[in-house]
Structure 1
Amino acid sequence: MKTGPPGSSRLSKPERAGGPVSRLYVVTSAESSSATPGCDCLAHRFGNAADHPGREPRYTSDVSDAEWSVVRQAFPTPAWMASRGGRPESYCHRQMLDAVRYLVDNGIKWRSMPADFPPWNRVYAFFRRWRDHGLVRELHDRLRDGVRRAEGRNAEPTAAIVDSQSVKADATVKNGSRGYDGGKKINGRKRHLITDCLGLLLVVLVTPASTTDRDAARTILPTLREGFRRLRLIWADGGYTGHLVDWAAQNLDLVLEVVKRSDDTSGFTVLPRRWVGERTFSWLMRTRRLARDYEAQPTSSEAMILWSMTMVMSRRLGRRAVTARQQLPDLVGAP
């Protein structure tokens, strides 16, 4: 096992925000023991990843250096480094990230993973571990907070938009987790999303397509309230009318404002606030894995959505990092 010199690494204090202690840490200083130049992931610095060959970035879904500089700060410390057991990891974290992003972006099967990535079963084990332990959700939330701060906003929103999308399900989806949406005439699953005013995901829930928006809202809104205490206002479409408005106000102290389409309007019309949620769905549909629901478990579908949104946000933060570096010489030379 390759390890850094004693005392060369320091883990930042775990965060606590009304829930369990965070499993995501940041290594603030460490000397690399990597045999692969340029890779500073923890598996290379302290694990056994150097025993495996590296790879050259070649796909559009690969993490750029600018993105990695942002994502790495929110990457998890493995259990074996945090004295939680396990053995040093043998595959580069950046390669694992590239592999999951490739699958989500291109919609391939797990067994069709390109040969330059780690074996597909190791990549799937990485995906499954991050899904089951909530690590992908926490990475997503940290990137979202970074994007909101970069836009000059508070990390926690005060208003949100709720909407749903029905998608067809593949034959791998069992009957117990799929249904028929009579309005959209779709046999599959339904994605219930709550986003902030920038279109960034706050909460996601995947249900059978037969689940009504109001029933799903009674499940997803308490989760939203638990995680975002400053939230007060939610915009929704006509599918959320009825007793749900009074229920949200009495039990969750949330104002559910329904944005309805005018009876005099014909054809396509962009409705206030509701277009934000529709734009988020269009971002998700750019990743081919989400064009149809292929996951056997709804939790895997939710994880795929989170991975897709991490790609959107890491690219945005990466572009900002590049712009900041380009402007730095001008600022230094300015009088």
Structure 2
Amino acid sequence: MTDAEWAVVRDALPVPAWMNGKGGQPEGYCHRQMIDAVRYLVAGGITWRAMPADFPAWDRVYAFHRRWRLKGLLAELHDRLRGLVREAEGRDREPTAAVIDAQSLRAAPSVPRATSGWDNGKKVGGRKRHVVVDCLGLLLVVTVTAANVQDRDAAGPLLERLRDRFHKIVLVWADGGYAGRLVTWAAEKLRLTLEIVRRSDDASGFVVLPRCWVVERTLSWLMRSRRLVRDYEALPEVHEAMVLWSMTMLMSRRQARQRA
């Protein structure tokens, strides 16, 4: 990170428990070093043991990443950065509308067969990440499933998480893959309007769908991080954390440029 970007991240860092008198002890490494190391791994797609010698030992970096994932510190950092970006764009911190979509990925040999599958539509074997973003394309919630899980089946639990975390959201846009009983279920159980953006019958080839292009752009942003081009993680939860790290890089860089 540049000094300008670190200033953005430092202001958004979660407060450690030991500073609030809740126990624990200060960490042995600088947060800037550790965050830089994890971001290097996500952006470059390297393995943990291939961590360059300029960073702390790989097992210490891995322990930092694991602790932040399990304690919810990574999610807190991500949400704070998203709030800063939304405020800089003249938006309220909590969105009122969202867009949902999914993306299938090939799985590495290290991915267990129990958590992977075959997407017959995309002809891809591996996993599928389901995301919900706001109207700026910033991530709200993400979940990773086997590739053979239908978009509609994964959307139910994903929308429930969205409702629990963002009470102001009343409208969610989706493509034709989410049509059917899910629309009625979302309205009755979650009080969410799931609006299906349909493709025109006269259209041929690639067509940009209104509203839905926002989430497609977010999925392309994630593909800039080499660790996310394929699924290398043994646990789906770890892949979800890698998605959060990728989005924190995008948001902190954007904030640093705007402040400059």
TM, length-normalised to structure 1: 0.76
Rounded to whole Å, the distance in 1 between the matches of 2:18 and 2:95 is 35
CA shift, 1:78, in A, is 2.8
CA shift, 1:172, in A, is 0.8
CA shift, 1:165, in A, is 0.1
Q: Give the aligned partner of residue 73 of structure 1.
A: 11
2:62 is equivalent to residue 124 of structure 1: yes
Q: Which residue, out of 149, 170, 181, partners 1:243?
A: 181
Q: Give the aligned partner of residue 142 of structure 2.
A: 204
Q: Give the aligned partner of residue 243 of structure 2.
A: 305
Q: Give the aligned partner of residue 192 of structure 2.
A: 254
CA shift, 1:67, in A, is 1.1
| Matched residues, number | 260
Rounded to whole Å, the distance in 2 between the matches of 1:238 and 1:183 is 14
2:165 is equivalent to residue 227 of structure 1: yes
Contact kept, 8 Å, 2:14 with 2:76, in 1: the verdict is no
Rounded to whole Å, the distance in 1 between the matches of 2:171 and 2:21 is 42
Determine which structure has more spread, i.e. the larger CA radius of gyration. 1
Q: Which aligned runs of 4 or more in structure 1 are off by greater than 4 angstroms?
A: none
Q: Give the aligned partner of residue 193 of structure 1.
A: 131
Q: Give the root-mean-square deviation of aligned CA atoms.
A: 0.9
Q: Give the aligned partner of residue 217 of structure 1.
A: 155
Rounded to whole Å, the distance in 2 between the matches of 1:157 and 1:248 is 18
Contact kept, 8 Å, 2:43 with 2:226, in 1: the verdict is yes
Once the two structures are superposed, what CA deviation does each residue of 1:282-328 show, in whole Å capped at 9, x if it has no partner? Answer: 10000100000000101100000000000000000011111xxxxxx
Q: Which residue, out of 279, 284, 287, partners 2:225?
A: 287
Rounded to whole Å, the distance in 1 between the matches of 2:193 and 2:97 is 9
Q: Give the aligned partner of residue 98 of structure 2.
A: 160
Letter of the 1:154 partner, please give it: D
Q: Which residue, out of 79, 82, 86, partners 2:24?
A: 86
CA shift, 1:86, in A, is 2.8
Taking only the aligned residue pairs, the percentage that are identical comes to 65
Contact kept, 8 Å, 2:87 with 2:93, in 1: the verdict is yes
Q: Give the aligned partner of residue 3 of structure 1.
A: none
More moved, 262-271 vs 110-119: 262-271
Rounded to whole Å, the distance in 1 between the matches of 2:232 and 2:139 is 21
Q: Which has the higher contact order (CA 8 A, sep 6+)?
A: 2
Letter of the 1:85 partner, please give it: G
Report SS of the residue matched to 2:20: coil
Extract unaligned runs of 5+ from structure 1. Answer: 1-62, 323-335
Rounded to whole Å, the distance in 2 between the matches of 1:64 and 1:271 is 37
More moved, 268-277 vs 304-313: 268-277
CA shift, 1:263, in A, is 1.3
2:52 is equivalent to residue 147 of structure 1: no
2:120 is equivalent to residue 182 of structure 1: yes
Rounded to whole Å, the distance in 1 between the matches of 2:239 and 2:27 is 26
Report SS of the residue matched to 2:168: coil
Extract unaligned runs of 5+ from structure 2. Answer: none
Q: Greater helix percent: which structure?
A: 2
Once the two structures are superposed, what CA deviation does each residue of 1:158-201 show, in whole Å capped at 9, x if it has no partner? Answer: 11100000000111110111111110111110000000010000
CA shift, 1:85, in A, is 2.9
Q: Give the aligned partner of residue 26 of structure 1.
A: none
Rounded to whole Å, the distance in 1 between the matches of 2:32 and 2:225 is 20
